[in-house]
Amino acid sequence: METPDLTGGFVALLGLELDEVSADRVVIRWRVRPELHQPHGIQHGGVYCSVVETAASVGGSLWLGDRGRVVGVSNQTDFLRAVRDGELTAVGTPVHRGRSQQLWLVEITDGDARLVARGQVRLQNLTTD
């Protein structure tokens, strides 16, 4: 199975830095900037959803490996604290990994280690057999 580019496309557009990437943990950092704000000058919730989905999908894909691919079927993200600037860090870890589905938890914190958003993604394992 060919390894996907984890640094281009939408990841690059959002300015995401993948600090740690494994089947058991994914750590993503990015800087909040005006082009990622919603009209009230805070981080757009869609960015949080996108980062949550990215962390889960990257980790889930690595875990499934050559057995197939994963696709997100549910993304539930809560926005807990408004952020106007600074660096944010997302940490994704698996909650459940089964034959047909995976569930990943992703927590996003600010530079002071305060929880600003939390989400979970359910992935469908599309196996090649």
Range of the domain at 117: 9-97+112-127
> Does residue 123 sit within a domain?
yes
> Does residue 48 sit within a domain?
yes
**pTM, entire model:** 0.94
> Does residue 4 sit within a domain?
no
Amino acid, single-letter form, for residue 23? A
Q: Output phi, psi for 76, to 5 deg.
A: -120, 110
CATH of residue 70: 3.10.129.10
Please count the structural domains in the chain. 1
Enumerate residues 6+ apart whose C-beta is below 8 A from 112. none
> Does residue 84 sit within a domain?
yes
> Does residue 120 sit within a domain?
yes
Parallel/antiparallel/unpaired status of strands 115-127 and 86-97: unpaired
4-57 tens-digit pLDDT: 667 788 999 999 999 999 999 999 999 999 999 999 999 999 999 999 999 999
User: Looking at the predicted structure, is the pLDDT value of residue 3 above 90?
Assistant: no
Cβ count near 13 (within 10 Å): 11
Cβ count near 129 (within 10 Å): 4
